[in-house]
Amino acid sequence: MAKLSKIIIFATFLIYVFCSLIRAGSLQKVTRGNFIFIYPKGDSLLVEYLLKETDKPLQRVESFFYESLTTPVTILIVKSDRAFRAYFQNKIPEWSQAIAIPRERMIVLKLSNADQIRKGPQILVHEVVHILVYDHLKGAGIPTWLNEGLAEYFSEGNLSLQKKILLADAIVSNKTIDLMAMDTLFRFSTAKARLAYIEAQSAVAFMVEKYGLPKLKQFLDYLARRKILDDAFKLTYHFDFLDFEIQWNEYIYRHYRYLVLLRFEEWIFAFIALLFLMAVLAVYLRNKKKLKKMQDEEDSSDFFEYPDWDESDSDESDEFR
């Protein structure tokens, strides 16, 4: 409860800061449907780009949850890492690019370089999914792995090959994180957080692939009715969370562990090893050729130096005996 009131006070403070900045003219505001964008002056093209690229993915997400954003959501675009961290008083992890505060219907999105702008639409969809999940569950609690897994799955779909290889690497080196351990995600290092997001996405993708989207929807409906996680699993899938985690672990072990062979550094190592072998072979062949040539020359010299004269042809030959 204390945490909740802190968030509300903090969000109110942020809104006050934004309003002052809009009045001062350094920020602009535009309303599109249920989105209110607040962005630095002169970045209207960035807003258009975000709207265009998120339109279709958001329609898909809204059709899954059978509901759309009925209460407006404020999206603040921040162009520098310093400003982003300052808004949250440095209380956010270094790897964070966006924050959703569903209760206050607010998303803060950092777009400070070309790579972040490229990923911007996908990250915005991810944050909107958090708000839709919150709306759908009517504020009921949800484990972090499921919340992040839904956001990643609905903003990206199945794991990319690169993510599968990272997961494979964690599987073979025995570094996978328990799904429930992700509740402390905010304290994870960058590498650990990246793996946690991949695992969460993979767990939701597995639920969809094995049991289908309608079952996932039913599962979330049970959570919305304040069922605890184990009960929601049992009522929907007829097994509990532990059984689910075992199934998912077996699935990723079976499907992804071999992908570790596709790691870039493995191929670089193999390539260097191959170059080395080729170099050794080339030196061996060259030496062999040289040796053969020397032997041939030697044989030829023998022929000239020690001709097989017919002894009877010359008397001089006797002198060398």
Of 92 and 235, nearer to Zn ion (C-beta) is 92
- Reference 301, options 311, 293, 290; nearest CA is 293
Using CB under 5 A as the binding rule, whether residue 232 contacts Zn ion is answered as no
Least distance from Zn ion to the Cβ atom of residue 247, Å = 24
- Least spacing, CB of residue 182 vs Zn ion, in Å: 11
Smallest distance from Zn ion to CB 65, Å: 16
Q: Which stretch binds Zn ion (CB under 5 A): 15-23, 147-155, 173-181, 219-227?
A: 147-155
Would you say 190 or 300 has its CB closer to Zn ion? 190
What's 41's DSSP letter? T
Stretch that binds Zn ion, among 131-139, 146-154, 169-177, 291-299 (CB under 5 A): 146-154
Q: Which two tokens stand for residue 112?
A: 């400070």
DSSP state for residue 177 in the 8-state scheme: P
Q: For the window 264-293, what string marks contact with Zn ion as x by the rule CB under 5 A?
A: ------------------------------
Site string for Zn ion, 97-136 (x = CB under 5 A): ----------------------------------------
Tokens of 149: 């897994």
Do residues 45 and 142 make contact, with C-beta atoms less than 8 angstroms apart? no
Q: What angle do CA 252, 132, 96 make, to 5 degrees?
A: 65
Nearest approach, Cβ of residue 200 and Zn ion (Å): 9
DSSP 313: G
Q: Decide whether 40 or 102 has the Cβ nearer to Zn ion.
A: 102
Q: Which is nearer to Zn ion, 135 or 148 (CB)?
A: 148
Strands 106-110 and 98-101: antiparallel
Residue 76: what are its φ and ψ, rounded to 5°?
-100, 125
Tokens (6 digits) for 140: 């009921």
* Cβ–Cβ < 8 Å for 77, 37: yes
Encoding tokens for residue 75?
């999206």
Distance in Å, CB of 98 to Zn ion, minimum: 8
Q: Which stretch binds Zn ion (CB under 5 A): 142-150, 205-213, 264-272, 278-286?
A: 142-150
Closest approach, Cβ 127 to Zn ion, in A, equals 7
Q: Please, is 202 exposed, middle or buried when counting C-beta atoms within 10 Å of its C-beta (0-12, 13-18, 19+)?
A: buried
Are 139 and 220 a contacting pair, CB within 8 Å?
no
Q: Name the residue nearer to Zn ion (CB basis): 106 or 151.
A: 151
User: Closest approach of Cβ 207 to Zn ion, in Å?
Assistant: 17
Closest-CB residue for Zn ion?
Answer: 151
**For Zn ion, which is the closer residue by CB, 148 or 199?**
148
Check: CB of residue 211 under 8 Å from CB of residue 203. no
Total residues binding Zn ion (CB under 5 A): 2
Residue 87 DSSP symbol: H
Interface residue with Zn ion among 146, 151, 198, 229 (CB under 5 A) is 151
- Please name which of 38, 124, 20 lies closest in space to residue 74, comparing C-alpha atoms: 38
Q: Where are the alpha helices (DSSP H) in 157-263?
A: 161-172, 190-211, 213-224, 229-237, 241-256
Cβ of residue 133: shortest distance to Zn ion, in angstroms? Answer: 10
Q: Which residues bind Zn ion (CB under 5 A)?
A: 148, 151
